Amino acid sequence: MENIDILDKSNKKQFLKYFDKTFFKGILAILIYYFIFNNFSSIVSIILGNYFKNISSDSPSYYYLNALHNFIVYSILLIALLLIYHKTFKNDYTRIKNSEATFSTIIYLILIMLAVNVFSNLIYQAIIKNVSFKQSENQTAINAITSYPIGYLIFAPITVFVAPIVEELIFRKSFFNVFKNKYVALIISVIVFGTMHVTTTYPLLRETYNQVQSFFYMLAFGIPYYASGLMFGIAYIKSDKNIIIPIAMHMANNYLATIMSTIIFYSIIF
């Protein structure tokens, strides 16, 4: 009987190691993220579509509608995720606040991230040089929305502030909660994070290329996203899983990307 009790205790300890409350929080957050993006998002589209009927896809109102759609979806996601992770978020913020070296560490990581982004963009541009379009559908849609003043005012705060919090709580906090091995979590989070941003590019590629070529080029478009996801994941691990660090990096990355896309757009016009 003693051996059985010891075995039971060992099994219980092993179970709790992998299936603790953080695991279930991670699963819940991922499921909510999936549901809101794939189901609730469609409902929002239908509702907004009823109020903006007969809108041309090249009119400003169409992009205002898209900006509003993203604002609603990401706002709901942010609220839901903060309800799950509010204690963790608060604890991580306290750790940041009490650390004297944090600000310099974030700046250092952002500079490294920028260097990695430049390098990854050069690689992906070299691979897709023969492709008829040079940006992923995701980035093209963002550029189109932010090219209109109202669209920019609605969408920029989501891109710079809300999306980084939402995506880091999912792809770093939740994925690392579900997959206890940090290297497995890092690889899976990088793959899912990067691919999610370029899947809408695949149908456009299929109009010209076969399945294998389209898939290869889609992955090439994802290189900057994979590189960013890798940097966010490494920063998360190195900061003892403090989610504030990758969120700050993600915000800086999106802010610079938004500024650059706006400058490029208006320089073309004027």
Q: Are 137 and 204 in contact (CB under 8 A)?
A: yes
Determine the Cα–Cα distance for residues 185 and 171; give it in Å rounded to an integer. 9
> 229-251 burial by CB neighbour count: b if 16+ within 10 A, else e?
bbbbbbbbbebebbbbbbbbbbb
Which of 87-96, 118-127, 133-142, 195-204 is least confident?
133-142
pLDDT above 70 covers a percentage of the chain that reads: 86
Residue 139 CB partners (closer than 8 Å, separation 6+): 261
State the Cα angle at 263 between 259 and 269, rounded to 5°: 145
Q: What pLDDT, on the 0 to 100 scale, is given for residue 247?
A: 95
Residue boundaries of the structural domains of the chain: 18-269
Lowest-pLDDT choice from 155-159, 174-178, 193-197:
155-159
Q: Give the pLDDT mean for 44-71.
A: 77
Whole-model pTM?
A: 0.87
> Higher-confidence residue: 268 or 150?
150
User: Which of 87-101, 117-131, 163-177 has the least mean pLDDT?
Assistant: 87-101
| Contact between 75 and 226 (Cβ < 8 Å) | no
Q: Is the pLDDT of residue 84 over 60?
A: yes
Letter string b/e over residues 174-204, b meaning 16 or more CB atoms within 10 A of that residue's CB: bbbbbbeeeeebbebbbeebbbbbbeebbeb
**Helix or strand or coil: residue 85?**
helix
Task: In whole angstroms, give the CA distance from residue 193 to residue 35.
Answer: 17
**pLDDT exceeds cutoff 70 at 80:** yes
For residues 78 and 247, give the distance between their C-alpha atoms in angstroms, rounded to a whole number. Answer: 13
Q: What is the pLDDT of residue 1?
A: 44
Q: In this structure, what token pair is assigned to residue 91?
A: 């604890």
Task: Compute CA 43 distance to the chain's CA centroid, rounded to the nearest angstrom.
Answer: 22
